[in-house]
Structure 1
């Protein structure tokens, strides 16, 4: 499986809301970046909601370091991990994964259910 596949588009409203939530809690100085972020790729599995960011649709994917690590619940109650990677200037990837390994992640977690992994 490829690490990522091209998916050049604007952020969806739920993606923006999730970033706003995470940045408000952990990285307030990045809130102003959301309006300019572009989705340039998605996870190579093609099923999960993991996305990679760039400043333009032509940006190259870039690996970053773990910046924010949360988990929350999906609509069906499954635990979904949310990891935001980035560099010193901007986020590079928003990754979603199953916490309990019992099901595939196909949706964003419910915002009100999100908690830091370190709690």
Structure 2
């Protein structure tokens, strides 16, 4: 990222982040719990979340997350929330109660400039 304090999330990135926190369920293998109190605590931090880097694959909009002081560390207890749209998946990595990575991936060769619209995300 070429700014010393990351960058503000785009409107779509913020919408997807909020939707994933609000609706997505932990994927198999997540450590720790993620209930109503954890969701509320995470939602309270969304206004401070900034993007610090983008996936280097060039095919997806996935971003590293942090705040104005830097990227959040990807260590400790991890919960991964998941959603999908068709053959595309969305993951939100939460490490030690902080959102560290928002990912969109595809089982096809599609290239995505931005995250899918929130209205098209499905949750289990």
Structure 2 length-normalised TM: 0.71
Partner SS, residue 49 of structure 1: coil
| C-alpha deviation, 1:31, in angstroms | 0.8
1:103 aligns with 2:110: yes
Partner of 1:3: none
Contact 1:50–1:94, Cα closer than 8 Å, also in 2: yes
**Where in structure 1 are there 5+ consecutive unaligned residues?**
1-5, 74-78
May I ask how many residue pairs the two structures share in their alignment?
105
Partner of 1:113: 120
Q: Is the alpha carbon distance of 1:22 and 1:60 closer, same or farther for their aligned partners in structure 2, counting shifts above 3 Å?
A: closer
User: What whole-Å deviation, never above 9, does each CA across 1:16-67 have from its counterpart, x for those lacking one?
Assistant: 11111111224333111110011111101244210001122x5146335342
Moved over 4 A (4+): none
RMSD value, Cα: 2.1
CA–CA separation in structure 2 for the residues paired with 1:104 and 1:66: 27
CA–CA separation in structure 2 for the residues paired with 1:85 and 1:11: 16
Structure 1 length-normalised TM: 0.73
CA–CA separation in structure 2 for the residues paired with 1:36 and 1:60: 12
1:43 aligns with 2:55: yes
Higher relative contact order (CA 8 A, sep 6+): 2
